[in-house]
């Protein structure tokens, strides 16, 4: 059985210094625990190098600014800290999690004077989905919860609180035997999976939802670039759920998911084909250190 995440050997970078993994703790009255005032990133290291590390740390800063606080460490410092974490953990291929949050000086909705803390942890983590399922295409349920209207939530921030409905939706899907769930936006258009962006293929053209109502993933942008470089047309637009009946292929993208073909979303079926599998191969080649 794998060790729990609070009981592992190693170190975590915590507010500018390394602490033993088991000692990286916060108080129960930490503001972020009660009010969701935390932002984070999910990064992958391949061959000892974090792919697009700078873009992730720039987004971490941007996410914090949207939530109204400033991260006390520059992008450059975070870059160096991530690299140091990998060295200290002796990891070559790993998942890296930077997180920033409001501390415990004040308890209540207003916490403008609270200290902003930052931590970076890394662990070895294989494919987000089971490898045998990933290659033949995973199965997705249709989520009950929808992504919120950007006028009601900071949807351009990778904020911890926005993932509450993702956890609920993924748990519900897994109880039914699915690997994940597809979420719609508040108007009923296709949005994203619980932790990954979604793409569809029809007649050799890729269609994907406009990323103005949910997080515009770094992997999403990378895969769009890889597709266009191969002469594949990519259309970003609103997609209605019933349109899924006319798509031949579907795949997810994300730092954790990488590129994962989809075989089923609720009543809709897809067959992993040349575009999905080709972009999976192209992405895995892209992320390797040059």
Catalytic residues: 158
CA distances from 98 to 51, 58, 104, 226, 250 (A): 14, 12, 19, 26, 30
Enter the tokens of residue 157. Answer: 């921030």
* Tokens of residue 28, six digits: 């129960």
Helix axes 53-66, 218-229, angle to 10 degrees: 130
Which helix H or strand E contains 82, and what residues bound it?
helix 75-89
Residue for token pair 């520059």:
74
Q: What's the rounded Cα separation, in Å, for the pair 75 and 41?
A: 13
Distance in angstroms between the alpha carbons of the first and the last residue of the chain = 35
HSE (side-chain half, CA atoms, 13 Å) at 32: 23
3-state DSSP assignment of residue 177 = coil
């Amino acid at each position: 059985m794998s060790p729990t995440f609070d009981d592992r050997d190693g170190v975590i970078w915590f507010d500018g210094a390394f602490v033993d993994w088991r000692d990286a703790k916060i108080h129960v009255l930490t503001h972020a625990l009660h009010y969701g005032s935390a932002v984070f990133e999910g990064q992958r290291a391949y061959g000892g190098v974090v792919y697009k590390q700078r873009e992730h740390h720039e987004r971490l800063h941007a996410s914090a600014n949207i939530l109204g606080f400033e991260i006390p460490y520059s992008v450059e410092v975070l870059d160096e800290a991530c690299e140091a974490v990998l060295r200290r953990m002796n990891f070559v291929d790993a998942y890296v999690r930077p997180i920033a949050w409001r501390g415990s000086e004040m308890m209540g909705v207003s916490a403008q004077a609270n200290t902003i803390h930052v931590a970076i942890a890394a662990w070895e983590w294989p494919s987000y989905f089971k490898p045998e399922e990933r290659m033949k295409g995973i199965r997705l349920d249709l989520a009950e919860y929808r992504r919120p209207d950007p006028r009601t939530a900071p949807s351009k921030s990778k904020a911890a609180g926005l993932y509450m409905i993702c956890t609920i939706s993924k748990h519900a899907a897994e109880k039914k035997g699915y690997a994940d769930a597809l979420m719609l936006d508040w108007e009923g258009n296709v949005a994203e999976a619980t932790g990954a962006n979604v793409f569809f293929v029809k007649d050799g053209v890729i269609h994907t939802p406009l990323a103005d109502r949910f997080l515009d993933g770094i992997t999403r942008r990378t895969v769009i670039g890889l597709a266009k470089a191969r002469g594949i047309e990519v259309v970003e637009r609103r997609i209605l759920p019933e349109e899924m009946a006319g798509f031949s292929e579907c795949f997810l993208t994300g730092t954790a998911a990488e590129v994962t073909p989809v075989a089923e979303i609720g009543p809709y079926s897809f067959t992993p084909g040349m575009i999905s599998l080709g972009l999976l191969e192209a992405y895995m080649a892209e992320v390797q250190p040059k």
